[in-house]
């Protein structure tokens, strides 16, 4: 009985430790995703008619905000996918040490920042400043992809990794994520020539990671 409780205590302690890191990270991911909506602006309609704005004007103003919706959806799903993978990553880890905490902190800093470039794209995608807006947006995601690499490096050390984590899974993780930094860099370089191509690469990337099966399916 005594040894049973001791075992349970140790396990609970360990669970609690990475558990709180996960819960905190989840909070930041969830809030960053939800704050994106604050960048959507209610259209301010000029009172062209003396009796106030009419439905047609409002409908057209709402439709005109499509760059905001596009930026909102792209950022939302990119952060969501990142959360799903963060989730998968955390399940491979047993302990949180200083390196992991700070690699995670750096990623969270950038995730927290996402609503800002999103708002910049929403504001300027239809203007001649779109190249700078898209370069800024995908440039931030270059940094995020690098931060994810650093997190993988911090997590895949023997001292923090779950000894039962399947080697094939770690390899797959490393392989699929290696694509992030160069492809977001490509999106950044493409932005001055074609903002549409730049946003297209960003969209293609979250769809690619969304359908990447191995990291989501629990190990059999």
Minimum distance, C-beta of residue 120 to a second copy, in the bound complex (Å): 6
Q: Is 37 in the site for a second copy (CB under 8 A)?
A: yes
CA dihedral 183, 189, 190, 196 (to 10 degrees): 80
Minimum distance between the CB of residue 107 and a second copy, rounded to whole angstroms? 11
Q: Which is nearer to a second copy, 135 or 183 (CB)?
A: 135
CA proximity to 174, closest of 146, 151, 152:
152
- Give Dmax (Cα) for the chain: 82
Task: Please report, as residue ranges, which positions from 76 to 95 form the binding site for a second copy (by CB under 8 A).
Answer: 76-77, 80, 83-84, 87, 91, 95
Q: How far is the CB of 176 from a second copy (least distance, A)?
A: 14
CB of 96 to a second copy, least distance (A): 8
Q: Which is nearer to a second copy, 15 or 66 (CB)?
A: 15
Beta-bridge mates of residue 93: 161
Which one of residues 6, 59, 196, 204 is an interface residue with a second copy (CB under 8 A)?
59
Nearer to a second copy by Cβ, of 102 and 168: the residue is 102
Q: Give the residue, chosen from 67, 72, 78, 209, that forms a contact with a second copy under the rule CB under 8 A.
A: 72
For a second copy, give the closer residue by CB, 31 or 204: 31
Site for a second copy in 137-176 (CB under 8 A): none
d(CA 170, CA 5): 32
Kindly state whether residue 188 participates in binding a second copy, applying the rule CB under 8 A.
Answer: no
Q: Reduce the DSSP state of residue 216 to 3 states and report it.
A: coil
Is 199 near a second copy (CB under 8 A)? no
The answer to whether 40 contacts a second copy (rule: CB under 8 A) is: yes
* Per-residue tokens: 81: 């996918």
Q: How far apart are the first and last CA of the chain?
A: 32
**Hey, what are 153's tokens?**
């490096």
Binding residue (CB under 8 A) for a second copy from 74, 78, 93, 127: 127
Query: What part of residues 106-125 is at the interface with a second copy (CB under 8 A)?
Result: 108-109, 112-116, 119-120, 123-124
Residue 7 in the binding site for a second copy (CB under 8 A) = yes
The three-state secondary structure class of 102 is helix
Tokens of 108: 């969270």
Q: How far is CA 208 from the centre of its chain?
A: 14
Are 106 and 72 in contact by the 8 Å Cβ rule? The answer is no
Please enumerate in sequence order all residues whose Cβ is within 8 A of that of 110, keeping only pairs 6 or more positions apart, or say none: 140, 143, 144, 147
């Amino acid at each position: 009985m005594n040894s049973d409780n001791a075992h349970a205590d140790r396990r609970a302690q360990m669970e609690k430790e990475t558990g709180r890191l996960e819960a905190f990270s989840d909070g930041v991911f969830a809030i960053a995703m939800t704050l994106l909506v604050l960048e959507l602006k209610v259209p301010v309609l000029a009172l062209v008619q003396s009796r106030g704005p009419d439905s047609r004007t409002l409908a057209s103003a709402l439709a005109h905000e499509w760059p905001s919706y596009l930026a909102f959806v792209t950022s939302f799903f990119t952060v969501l996918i990142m959360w799903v993978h963060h989730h998968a990553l955390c399940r491979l880890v047993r302990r949180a040490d200083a390196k992991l905490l700070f690699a995670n902190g750096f990623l969270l800093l950038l995730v927290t920042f996402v609503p800002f470039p999103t708002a910049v794209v929403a504001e300027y995608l239809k203007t001649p400043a779109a190249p700078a807006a898209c370069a800024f947006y995908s440039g931030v995601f270059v940094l995020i992809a690098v931060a994810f690499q650093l997190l993988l490096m911090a997590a895949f050390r023997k001292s923090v990794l779950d000894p039962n984590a399947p080697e094939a899974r770690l390899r797959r993780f490393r392989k699929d994520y290696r694509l992030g930094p160069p492809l977001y860099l490509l999106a950044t370089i493409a932005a001055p020539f074609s903002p549409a191509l730049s946003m297209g690469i960003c969209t293609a990337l979250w769809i690619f990671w969304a359908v990447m099966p191995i990291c989501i399916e629990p190990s059999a």
